[in-house]
Amino acid sequence: MSVANAPVDNGVNVEALLGVRSALADTPDIAQFRWRATTSWLRGTHSQSSIETFYGFGEEQQHKTTFTYDADHPLQFAAQDNGITPVEYVLVALGSCLTAGIAAVAQQRQIQLRSVNATIEAEMDLHGILGADPEVRNGFSGIRVSYEIDADASQKDMEALVAQSQKRSAVYDIITNPTNVTVKVN
Amino acid sequence: MPHVPVAIVGAGHCGLAMSRCLASRSIDHVVLERGEVANSWRTERWDSMRLLTPNWFSRLPGFAYDGPDPDGFMTAAEVADLIEGYAADGGAPVRASTTVRAVRPADHRGYGIQTDQGDWTADAVVIASGACNVAHVPAVREALPPQVTSLTAADYRNPAQVSEGGVLVVGASSSGIQIAEELLRHGRPVSMAVGEHVRVPRRYRGRDILWWMDAAGVLDERYDEMDDLVRARNIPSLQLAGSPDGAMLDLNALTGHGARVLGRLAAIRDGVALFSGSLPNVCALADLKLGRLLDTLDAWAVESGIDVPEPPERFPPTVVLSAPPLEVDLRRGEIRTVIWATGYRPDLSWLELPVVNARGRLVHDGGVTRFPGLYLLGMPFLRRRKSTLIDGARADAADLTEHLAAHLDSLARHGQVAATR
């Protein structure tokens, strides 16, 4: 069987990523990125956000197409359920960020992935957003992520993979650490 | 102005190891020392501090420990005495009470050295003034409310110096865990802010962990063999204490003594300290890393066929509260003192040559800077994993002496130095 010797391919171009890192040594400014989205209210709690451009590598950049996202609240909130709730987008962001990290780290560690599935759950107490109890925060009281991974690796190696992915995850950092947010009206 | 082929800045173990290596090649030099030999061991350590490495491991060029307690841990004063004795035995040409004010390129050749006891020129300068001159404190300190006292690990001396009441120790590497343990022993309520750390047992399978790491070659791993040298040079110090009883001082032990373990201190906002939610992951990373180290050591033991007193052992995972608090209000009086055990940095403010890059990191190739004849010693992972340990100075000083001698030879060949050797 030649399968054991097949090159590991998780579809991540690790060389390119490492190339960027070494390029940063000479031109640290190219590391400065700015991500942006626009959001327009439609009706009720329904809004649509678009993402098309970002700034990075020293110039304006463009996604290959404009992506749009509907957000709303479910019927149980007397809303129209035209899209997932904003807090669910946070789960999407965390799950996709950690999973991308797992693929990248696995590629670098020469671990072939066959399947990676995450379940992300977060607890929230509605007393917070409804203003019914000042002691309860608006946001999640906790987030739990559970991974099922099928890969050519030991349990320990997979745990290390998932731990390293958290360590290098932007969304994990954004969620676990405070961030200054400024909102103004023009 | 006197000229000397080599000037060494700092008469600690590194500078004196270098001096010994140069002397063995009859290379004329001076060792410039701001205070007395081993100054920082006499003046910049907390009272109860012991060396993290066992006595037998304090090896220097031409010196090996032959005292009665090879497995013990020296107090800071004993380390200072050892270094002083080493300087005296070797007749090191130390100029004590000589503070270097500036090192800069000289007009014609080599370097000009300005000191408070007169100026020198030298063909080569070896910076051995230490990697831990100043406590590094994160910018978040600025936001501490005024009722909280702020102290660094470098300022800390003993519990009597710390006001009654709660203490927040920021950092869980070697300094942080030892200070936390001492304060807990003196009855202070201690909270710890914990980021990335390196968990290791003091003893493993009946031997000191440094015996293992030394014997298995882990401490000899070279800087030019590292996949990620930036990371290797920034790894926090081992979670170790020179505890004579050989007890493991990890987060579980501190929790057992009553410490409250919190996440990394991420911010202080309106007087409220905010802690990262990443605590479970930094603990998982440390546990996994410890497991890999022990796997390496066990595999080495099998391969080398040595006789080990005890069988392999694995340590229970770090216990983390299911929902550790994410904020502590520093204005309520629960925390009276914050102790910053967040690392140290060298003070090279007197060096008028750009040896740091735009990100403030020292740029060197195993201690060889891009300025011919200018060398660094004793920095993290300078040439080996053990470069900041006393034993690390031995091999590093020998390597750099080799390089430095070749540099002087090449100057001589080009007629820039009249027979200095």
Task: Choose between B356 and B202: higher pLDDT.
Answer: B202
* Structural domains for chain B: 3-133+346-413 (3.50.50.60), 137-340 (3.50.50.60)
List of residues 6+ apart from B243 with CB closer than 8 A: B50, B73, B202, B249
Same domain, A131 and A143: yes
- Neighboring chain A residues of B273 at a CB cutoff of 8 Å: none
Q: Are A3 and A152 in contact (CB under 8 A)?
A: no
A126: its two tokens = 């509605």
Same domain, A72 and A142: no
Instruction: Please state, as a whole number, how many other Cβ atoms lie within 10 Å of the Cβ of residue B396.
Output: 28
Question: How many domains, chain A?
Answer: 2
Determine, yes or no, domain membership for A97.
Answer: yes
Same domain, A164 and A109: yes
| Half-sphere exposure at residue A39, Cβ-oriented, CA atoms within 13 angstroms | 10
Same domain, A93 and A72: no
Q: Tell whether A32 lies on the interface with B, counting CB pairs under 8 A.
A: no
Residue A80: predicted pLDDT: 96
3-state secondary structure B336-366: EEEEECCCEECCCCCECCCCECCCCCECCEC
- Neighboring chain B residues of A167 at a CB cutoff of 8 Å: 281, 285
Residue B367: predicted pLDDT: 97
User: Residue B216: pLDDT band by 50, 70, 90 thresholds?
Assistant: very high
Q: How far is B21 from chain A (nearest CA, A)?
A: 35
Q: Tell me the mean pLDDT in the region B277-298.
A: 97
pLDDT cut 90: percent of chain B above it: 91
| CA dist., res. B114 & res. B351, Å (int) | 10
Residue of B nearest to A159 (CA): B288
Same domain, A128 and A150: yes
| Parent domain of A47 | 32-83
Q: How far is A11 from chain B (nearest CA, A)?
A: 22
Residue B419: predicted pLDDT: 44
Determine, yes or no, domain membership for A141.
Answer: yes
Same domain, A93 and A171: yes
Determine, yes or no, domain membership for A186.
Answer: no
Determine, yes or no, domain membership for A18.
Answer: no
Same domain, A36 and A126: no
DSSP string, B151-162: EETTT---GGGS
B288/A163 Cβ within 8 A: yes
Last residue of a domain, one of A62, A83, A104: A83
Determine, yes or no, domain membership for A23.
Answer: no
> For B339-385, what is each residue's pLDDT tens digit?
999 999 999 999 999 998 877 789 999 999 999 999 999 999 999 99
B359/A28 Cβ within 8 A: yes
Same domain, A72 and A95: no
Q: What is the CATH number of the domain that holds A157?
A: 3.30.300.20
Same domain, A5 and A97: yes
| Half-sphere exposure at residue B184, Cβ-oriented, CA atoms within 13 angstroms | 22
| CA dist., res. B416 & res. B305, Å (int) | 54
Does pTM surpass 0.80? yes
Tell which A residues from 143 to 162 touch B, by Cβ distance under 8 Å. Answer: 156, 159-160
Same domain, A170 and A96: yes
* Complex ipTM value: 0.85
Q: How far is A68 from chain B (nearest CA, A)?
A: 31
In this prediction, the residues of chain A whose per-residue pLDDT falls under 50 are 1-3
Q: Are B132 and B395 in contact (CB under 8 A)?
A: no
Same domain, A156 and A77: no
